[in-house]
Amino acid sequence: MTQAANSVRDGFTTSFGVLVATLGSAVGLGNIWKFPSLTGSNGGAGFLLVYLLATLLVGLPVMIAETMLGRAARANAVSTFERVAPRRQWWWPVIGWMGFAAALLILSFYSEVAGWVYAYIFKALAGELATTDPQVAGAIFAGLVADPLASLGWQWLVLGVTGSIVMLGVAKGIEAVTRKLMPLLFILLLVLCARSLSLPGAAQGLSFLFSPDLAKITPAVLLTALGLAFFKLSIGMGCMLTYGSYFRDNQNIPATATRVMFADLSVSLLAGMAIFPAVFAFGFEPAAGPSLVFMTIPAVFTAMPGGTVFMSIFFILTAIASVGAMLSLLEVPVAILAERYALGRKRASLYTILAVAVLGAPAALSSSLTSEIKLFGMNPFELFDFLSSNILLPLGGILICVFVGWVYGLPEMTRQLGNHGELRNQRLIRLVFFLIRYVAPLSIAAVLLHGLKIF
């Protein structure tokens, strides 16, 4: 009774709201920017195959487990482990703090890529992107990222927009915004795909995406695919845990997670089918890396009737998709700060945004002022991405699996995922539990150690 604040804790208000907000977190630049560029630079279909396996066998079970913990505790990522860990063992909340760090690292480079997308909206509207020539497209992108002031300016704009929405709260901010925007994104991607698939090089693009060459699957490729599976489903860093704490009591967690996983996968595949045919039709380099999307998308639209309009809408929607994901990234530190230090939501959001602006500056300047600062051969942008996606998220994933599989246990998991006897899903829960206890942690550990060349 002493904690009046607990009884009015903010949360999602409808089942549809839960679905779109969670989907809004999963769908983002990961689908439209990271998935195509990683698939392109890691050999195509073989990478896609490993990514699919990682998503089904590791990603989905971890997503279910994470969401479950959050809803059981109804607290932020750190406090959740304090509440659900037996005998208040101090080390479990460390998982939440790792998530705090991962969120800030991801936001640092994510906000920059989102900034490029915002900038491209204006370039598209001004007709500056009307080219199918890889050289010209490359020069436009290089011009943008090499300008330090523009890089920082766009990043700050993105942080300002997303920070203001998070300040409004979970139901009035996050849920209200994602509800309106997610359906639109799907429709536009379908249009884009139809256009790209009717290009002359479409078949070659599709075979790059769908005919695997197993020789290209190296340990490093495995680790990258696993990292992408975590990044895509927003797991391993307390994000789904935090969103789970806003889920309704009668929400069917395994069903919601499965729907989100499939919808997210479809968006990635649609983005791939929109991009790779164009890559081959216009002679772009599939392994171009982070710049790939920014060069091929304009080419897909140019020479199509109404191309400028569609191109602009596409970048607007990508910007929107990035907002949904950033809201969930911000929510991890914001919930921790607001609930643990009684800061209030507004101040917690402000501090988080400021921290990201500081940490994000070296990432934003990675193609200009900080391009020579390298650690393990990576500039700050690449380093933040590598550290978070390929190390912190899988590591967080292992710890969550160990916690749920070996400490939390099957009986409690059955109660939580069965909504206290309301759902008849015991078999499914046993399967998820088996994956969480053995399959997921062992495969993550093997891929992580092998990929980092530790054994």
- Binding residues for ligand PHE (CB under 6 A): 25-26, 28-31, 106, 231-232, 234, 237, 239, 325, 328-329
Closest CB 106 distance from ligand PHE, rounded Å: 6
CA distance 76 to 68: 13
Q: What is the DSSP letter of 418?
A: T
Closest CB 407 distance from ligand PHE, rounded Å: 24
Q: Is 374 left (phi over 0), alpha (psi -120 to 50) or beta?
A: beta
Q: What is the DSSP letter of 238?
A: S
CB contact set of 355 (below 8 Å; sequence gap of 6+): 104, 333
CA distance 139 to 144: 9
Closest CB 28 distance from ligand PHE, rounded Å: 2
Closest CB 103 distance from ligand PHE, rounded Å: 7
Question: Are residues 134 and 288 in contact, defined by beta-carbon separation less than 8 angstroms?
Answer: no
- Looking at the Cβ atoms of 132 and 242, the one nearer to ligand PHE is 242
- Looking at the Cβ atoms of 26 and 54, the one nearer to ligand PHE is 26
> Bridge partners of 375?
378
Residue nearest to ligand PHE (CB): 30
Question: Are residues 184 and 317 in contact, defined by beta-carbon separation less than 8 angstroms?
Answer: yes
Closest CB 34 distance from ligand PHE, rounded Å: 7
CB contact set of 393 (below 8 Å; sequence gap of 6+): 102, 227, 230, 231, 235, 236, 237
- Looking at the Cβ atoms of 119 and 325, the one nearer to ligand PHE is 325
- Looking at the Cβ atoms of 25 and 37, the one nearer to ligand PHE is 25
CA distance 204 to 431: 39
Q: Which long-range contacts (CB under 8 A, 24 or more apart) does 211-214 make?
A: 211/44, 211/45, 212/44, 212/45, 212/46, 212/48, 212/49, 213/43, 213/44, 213/45, 213/46, 214/46
Closest CB 262 distance from ligand PHE, rounded Å: 15
- Looking at the Cβ atoms of 199 and 241, the one nearer to ligand PHE is 241
Closest CB 342 distance from ligand PHE, rounded Å: 25
CA distance 288 to 40: 7
- Looking at the Cβ atoms of 234 and 366, the one nearer to ligand PHE is 234
CA distance 267 to 272: 9
Residue with tokens 């760090």: 101
- Looking at the Cβ atoms of 231 and 247, the one nearer to ligand PHE is 231
Closest CB 329 distance from ligand PHE, rounded Å: 5
Structure-block tokens of residue 346: 């507004």
CB contact set of 442 (below 8 Å; sequence gap of 6+): none
Closest CB 237 distance from ligand PHE, rounded Å: 6
- Looking at the Cβ atoms of 281 and 363, the one nearer to ligand PHE is 363
DSSP per residue over 259-314, as a string? Answer: HHHHHHHHHHHHHHHHHHHHHHHHT--TT-GGGHHHHHHHHHHTTSTTHHHHHHHH
Closest CB 338 distance from ligand PHE, rounded Å: 18
- Looking at the Cβ atoms of 107 and 209, the one nearer to ligand PHE is 107
- Looking at the Cβ atoms of 17 and 418, the one nearer to ligand PHE is 17
Question: Are residues 209 and 39 in contact, defined by beta-carbon separation less than 8 angstroms?
Answer: yes
